[in-house]
Structure formats: C-alpha cells, structure tokens
Amino acid sequence: MANEQSISGITLNAITLNTLNMADSVAFYAVLGFDLVFGDSDAEFVTMGSGGCFVNLVRVSRAEDVHAGWGRAIFHVGDVDALYETAIAAGLQPQAAPRDAPWGERMFPIFDPSGHDLSFAKRLER
C-alpha cells in the first residue's frame, strides 16, 4: 500500500470519453478552457488539453456506448467561480452554482453534451 507522501503529486493527465456529437463536445471543452491538441470537430478521435491535463474524445455511433463504465472526472482549476461564470455566459448549464464542499474543495458539477459527469474544483485553504 502506497503511503500518502508517495501519491501526493498525482494529477489527472488524461481521460478518454465517448461522444455521439464531436462538434458539440469540442465546442463545450473549448468554452471551459481546453485547446484543440489533435484532430478537429469532424474527426473520430480528438484530444483537448489545458495545463497538462488532456481530454480525449472518441466518436461512437450508438447512444448506449457513450456511458459504458462511466463515473465522474474532477478537474482542478485556478478559479472555480470565474470558470462557472464563463460557462454560464456561454450558455452552458451547470447542475449547481459553486459551493464549498465538506471534503475541502470549492466546486461545481456540470454534464458535457454527451452526459459525462464532470466537476470543476479547487482545494480550499485550511
């Protein structure tokens, strides 16, 4: 079993998500600050990146393939409230406004266009 010190530097590098609509997914992640790294909105495979964190998008043709084996991805950001305001201004619909969660993060949840459950968060100072 790894001790806490050996795992403290782990950060999310990449996740891969299925999507039925690549153009909608690329536009969604672009609004939230991800840049197009590989592919384009017509591609079967796209990589979006921000600050060393990458979201790979894979086009699927059946709705039942979008959520196979899914949970939630949590992205740490510098300013949760500013990102929330950016999302709202772009017409996105988070599930809730930013809040201080009991586990020590300020966060807000949002679904991407394919229904993937995402959270954008920042550790609270104690």
- In this predicted model, what pLDDT tens digit does every residue of 67-120 receive, in sequence order? 776 657 888 888 899 999 999 999 999 999 999 988 888 999 999 998 888 888
CATH class of 13-61+71-123: alpha beta
- Distance between CA 77 and CA 74 in Å, rounded? 10
Is residue 16 pLDDT above 50, yes or no? yes
Instruction: State which amino acid sits at residue 117.
Output: D
Could you tell me the residue ranges of all domains in the chain? 13-61+71-123
Identify which has the larger pLDDT, 37 or 13.
37
pLDDT band at 1; cut points 50, 70, 90: very low
Region of residue 51 (left: phi > 0; alpha: psi -120 to 50; beta: else):
left
**Predicted TM-score (pTM) of this structure:** 0.68
Tokens of 4: 């806490």
